A and B are shown apart, each in its own frame.
Chain A
Amino acid sequence: MTIRGKAFVVGAYEHPRRDIPDLSVAEIHAEVALAALADAGLSPSDVDAYFCDSDAPGVGPLSMSEYLGLRCRYLDTTETGGASYLSHVGHAAAAIAAGKCRVALCVMGGRPRTLRIAAGPNLSGAPETDYETHWGITDTVHNYALAAMRHMHEFGTTSRQLAEVKVAASLHAQHNPNAFLRKAVTVEDVLSSPMISDPLHRLDCCVMTDGGGAVVIASAEVARRLPRRSVAVLGHGEAAKGTGTGRPDLSHTAAVWSGPAAFAEAGVTPGDVDYASIYDSFTITALLALEDLGFCEKGEGGRFVEDGALVAPHGRLPMNTDGGGLCNNQPDNRGGMARMIEAVRQLRGEAAPEVQVPDCRLAVVHGSGGRLATRSSAATLVLGREDA
């Protein structure tokens, strides 16, 4: 069974605010859920499946489906950190293809900026905790810095090359009125920002924002009768990568498994892709994903991102045209949903005019979660224009 041609993104909504001290997380969920349904031309009574992560308030899908007045016959709370929402869409598409549901609502939201909640898994009771947490990895960036340092050693990647990922994001964010950081920055700006954890500077790190987002996935039959241009879910892959028996390889991510699975299901190759939304918790996160998804050879990521390759509309691979997690939005310390919504905008032709990729037909969305240097998730979606 394949999901290709069976499921469509029919509605999407990203919360416009980045500081939300006045709403509860449940209220943020409701705002984005109702707005995504309105975007689709659907109402809560059309929904029969609900997807959320483990940060959703209460007993996740039970509390939230009740709050929203939904009557669901399919529920999923896959929790893989920032990649969760891409998995949710893949799982929703499979459930729709199997006839288990027809309209799936996938929702996330959070207020880490207001509540000053740092990113990171709850490791209480995890078997690895006492072997990883006592040596001063107090923030996610310390863990990702280990991967960045190893990449530099193995492949000669430079801080200037990592900075190119941030520069491209900032050039895009200028055109996004909702972006948290809207100022264009240079490579020199990145290199002169404070070093947080060698080799990662402050500007190698994503923003910390309140916010949320939602997408509505529907069957072909439902999508056909809706007024809005929909986006086809063509392929999905996901994977987890850990430390195995204790010889972690920090040069690869689980994208080496999720990417080929998604491309194979969609029947396309990286060379066919017009636009990429790739989760950029740190500059190194996106660079490793570009290599592992096959946009360039392993170790060539640094050279690949030079010369404006990621800058829309005319770069070799326009990436994160909303400004990404590095500049636009990182709701709930998790980037997958916001990145996916920008890919939907690109395929609908509704991105900011300055960054809209001309004739954008095929997009890849890639998310990661957990921590790159220990255990992390990857989820990849291939999305296509309705007529792709």
Chain B
Amino acid sequence: MSTRGEGTQREGASTPLPRADFTPSGADETFWAATAEGRLLLSRCESCATIVWYPRPFCPRCGGRGITWFAASGEATVYTYTVVRKARGAYRELTPYVVAYVELAEGPRILTNIVGCDPAEVRIGQRVTLVFDPPAPAGDGEGEGEVRARLYRFRPSG
């Protein structure tokens, strides 16, 4: 996988974080296709009702094979974070940026970035809200019918 420029514009930062540049497969296609429409899908097990992250076509708790997709509310709190000051690859020139686990209102803790604020203002327990990177410009090298995934990140609420 690689990432490339032109993703989320960060307040106080001159360069956006790299946006998605990969081809999801299998059950993951449903999930990533929804990101293209600005929705973060979660899967619930039809047998034991567990909301499972990361998405997969079965339930790792009970082994159930039936899952139902639904859209997350987008509300979350910061479970933990780090301000990255030295990085490699597409992120190398973009430090400092914030990587975090946020706990979704629905339960799962997911890896993401906190954007739209000074990294020094991020705190554990802070309320944050889902934002998606802007869609890729039309005709930007993507094949016909290919999923145009967008990365989900979070910004301080309010």
Contact = CB atoms under 8 A, between A and B. Distances in A.
Given A129-B1, A135-B111, A373-B101, A245 B52 contact: yes
A125 B38 CA distance: 25
Interface in B96-127: 97, 99-101, 107-113, 124
Interface string B2-19: 010000000000000110
B134 to A, nearest CB: 15
B71 to A, nearest CB: 16
Contacts of A243: 53-54, 109
A150 B123 CA distance: 11
A274 B51 CA distance: 45
A149 interface: yes
B87 A134 contact: no
A135 B153 contact: yes
For chain A, which range describes its interface: under 10, 10 to 19, 20 to 34, or 35 or more residues?
35 or more
A198 B88 contact: no
B87 A138 contact: yes
B9 to A, nearest CB: 15
B113 A135 contact: yes
Contacts, number: 120
Given A134-B151, A139-B87, A146 B53 contact: no
Nearest to B24: A130
A132 B100 CA distance: 11
A118 interface: yes
B112 A196 contact: no
A281 to B, nearest CB: 16
A246 B97 contact: no
A122 interface: no
Nearest to B55: A131
A271 interface: no
B82 A145 contact: yes
Interface string A355-388: 0000000000000000001100000000000000
A130 B20 CA distance: 10
B50 interface: yes
Contacts of A197: 82-86
B80 interface: yes
Interface string A107-129: 00000000000100000000111
B85 A138 contact: no
A247 to B, nearest CB: 6
Nearest to A131: B54
B108 to A, nearest CB: 4
B87 A195 contact: no
Contact of B60 (A138, A244, A248): A244
B82 A142 contact: yes
Contacts of A118: 88
B107 A246 contact: yes
Interface string A238-272: 00000111111010000000000000000000000
A246 B85 contact: no
Contacts of A137: 99, 111
B28 interface: yes
Nearest to B59: A245
Interface of A: 118, 127-139, 142, 145-147, 149-150, 153, 194-200, 243-248, 250, 373-374
Given A131-B110, A136-B17, A245-B59, 17 more contacts: A127-B54, A132-B54, A135-B17, A136-B18, A137-B99, A137-B111, A138-B84, A138-B91, A146-B80, A146-B101, A245-B60, A245-B108, A246-B52, A246-B53, A247-B107, A248-B109, A373-B80
